[in-house]
Amino acid sequence: MSLTRFDFARRNAGFGLISTLVTVVLGFVSRSIFIAELGAAYLGVNTLMLNVVGVLSFAELGIGSAMSYSLYKPVAEGDAPLVRALSDFYKKAYRVIALIVTIVGLALLPFIPNLANEAGDLGDLRVYYTLYLLANVMSYFAVYKTGLATAEQRTYLVTNIRTVASVVLQVAQIVSLLIWGDFLIYLVVMVLARAAEQLFLNVYLSRRYRNYLQPPDAPLRQEQLEPIKRNVKALIWHKLGDVAVNQTDSIIIAAFVNVTVLGFIANYNLIINTASMLLLVIMNAAIGSFGNAIATAAPKDVYRNYKTYRFAAFWIYGMATAGMYALITPLITLWLGPDMVIPQEVALLILLNFYLLGQRATVNTVKSAAGIWDADKYLPLIQAIVNLGLSIILVQAVGLVGVFIGTLAQGLLATIVRPLIVYPRVFGSPAREYFIDGAKYLLVLVVAAVSSALAVDAWLGPITLGSMLLAILCVGLWINLIFALVFGRRPEFTELVRRLSPRKR
């Protein structure tokens, strides 16, 4: 029996969710042991280093997105000569990227200690940074092969390998913390595990896609290179904006507030990013299917699928946002103690940005699958200016909350502008319906979140594991009840239920 696009999306999502759940459980165990053995200050250093190395990902220039887009059609058509030529081109490109990241990364080495305000006696930050840099550079050598799995709508193949690698890594790091309690050894374990993961990934994908990874019959012709160059030129701006938005908040907090507060924020982000990872697995699982559909299907069919997809995104992101608004601070208190709690207004801003990210995810999926990068190439630069400008100014005026006001402002900007660009080009229609639905979704979300928070404040009482589990169950049921009562008659709800039913799909 042949698999449909929805089958591939559901399979990718299923394996992705299993992978994320396994990683999440170990992540919480690892984080608890990390804080107990090393403290919040080292956690702040860990977060800072990850974000500094993340800034270096700008050197990738968005080639990964261009790669996936250029591979959809030839893979779907079985055009092996063109796939080989594209794979060879991307292999060489990523080798150059790895070299650039290494050189630029080492050039930043002398400045690393200046980024951690009130770091105290935490060891040599330059040594820690070097190990993070090494682990990051390794990741570039198999990327061009994983792009083939994405184009084939089989991202679960890579997901499964990375799940096993993540389990091995986190178990090894937990053991190292319990035996030695040393941050340096913790990082050495990370580097060794990353090397083993990349080695296995390379070998497995080389065997599976041996036909596509053979030396090309001929290099790409100029007319084949032109769309790639055009897309990469546009994606440079997107990559710059992505780095400036997603990798700089932690650096600003570490430099202008202090590195220990960054550790507190990291605990909230672990919970929020866990939810984000689970939900983005579902969102990203559909990218390959949308790419295939846009290349082969009529716009009206793509739009019908998209409306159901967006409704599902609202439901799961809305439920997660409202639930965390009510429960995240009690959960942190239960897990790590009241000393690890951040101001409620900061948590609210982080959650609002999380919700906007979820609303943009659906538009971004279609945008990426359709290869629309040139039309809004300057938007990420504007987002970066708004984020960095407001965050740096406001953190000095109002403290920690100012950083997240800047982040929320840039997210709101993208949430408004991007549908105006994508809807006419992909669906041939204005974005009016997007904003009308968005306003309805937000209004219902506010009702669900506020009512849930009031109920938790009134009835939770002493925070115990039992009361927390009961609160999570009750809040989840309440939010879903509100959503179902308001949106149960929408065609998207009916279609979503039909698709999720194995017998009627």
CA dist list (Å): 409 to 121, 168, 245, 349: 36, 39, 11, 10
8 Å CB contact between 140 and 101: yes
Please provide residue 60's backbone torsions phi and psi, each rounded to the nearest 5 degrees. -70, -25
8 Å CB contact between 410 and 349: no
Q: What is the pLDDT of residue 368?
A: 74
141 burial (CB, 10 Å; 0-12 / 13-18 / 19+) is middle
Percent helix, strand and coil across the chain, each to the nearest 5: 85, 0, 15
One digit per residue, the tens of pLDDT, for the chain of length 505 reads 455 555 555 665 566 566 667 777 888 899 999 999 999 899 999 999 999 998 887 766 667 766 767 887 888 888 889 889 988 888 888 898 889 889 999 999 999 988 887 667 888 999 999 999 999 999 888 888 888 887 777 777 787 788 888 889 999 999 999 999 999 999 999 999 999 999 999 999 999 989 889 998 888 888 888 877 777 776 777 777 777 777 889 999 998 988 889 999 999 998 998 888 777 666 555 554 555 555 555 667 778 778 888 888 899 899 999 999 999 999 999 999 999 999 989 999 999 999 998 888 888 878 877 777 777 878 888 988 999 999 999 999 999 999 999 999 999 999 999 999 989 988 888 899 999 999 999 999 999 999 999 999 888 878 899 999 999 999 999 999 999 999 999 988 888 787 666 554 4
Structural tokens at position 340 = 């690890």
Nearest to 214 by CA among 118, 91, 41, 44: 91
Helices 379-398 & 249-256 angle (0-180, nearest 10): 20
Q: Which SS3 state, helix, strand or coil, does residue 165 take? A: helix
Cα 299 from Cα 410, distance rounded (Å): 30
Q: What is the pLDDT of residue 370?
A: 76
Cα 186 from Cα 131, distance rounded (Å): 10
Please provide residue 304's backbone torsions phi and psi, each rounded to the nearest 5 degrees. -60, -45
Structural tokens at position 114 = 């200046």
Nearest to 365 by CA among 426, 286, 429: 286
Nearest to 72 by CA among 275, 266, 230, 227: 227
8 Å CB contact between 74 and 220: no
Q: What is the pLDDT of residue 3?
A: 54
Nearest to 202 by CA among 142, 252, 292, 155: 142
Amino acid, res. 44: G
What's the CA angle centered on 230, arms 225 and 236, to 5 degrees?
Answer: 120
Dihedral of the alpha carbons of 237, 241, 390, 350, in degrees to the nearest 10: 160
Plot region of 39 (φ>0 → left; ψ -120 to 50 → alpha; else → beta): left
Cα 401 from Cα 436, distance rounded (Å): 30
- For residues 353-364, b (16+ Cβ closer than 10 Å) or e, as one string? bbbbbbbbbbbb
Give, as one character, the DSSP assignment of residue 37: H
Give, as one character, the DSSP assignment of residue 111: G
Q: Which residues contact 196 (CB under 8 A, 6 or more apart)?
A: 165, 168
CA dist list (Å): 194 to 28, 55, 90, 235, 476: 20, 19, 21, 27, 37
| Number of other CB atoms surrounding residue 61 within 10 Å | 20
Q: What is the pLDDT of residue 505?
A: 44
Cα 491 from Cα 299, distance rounded (Å): 19
Amino acid, res. 399: G
Dihedral of the alpha carbons of 157, 161, 164, 168, in degrees to the nearest 10: -170
8 Å CB contact between 264 and 340: yes
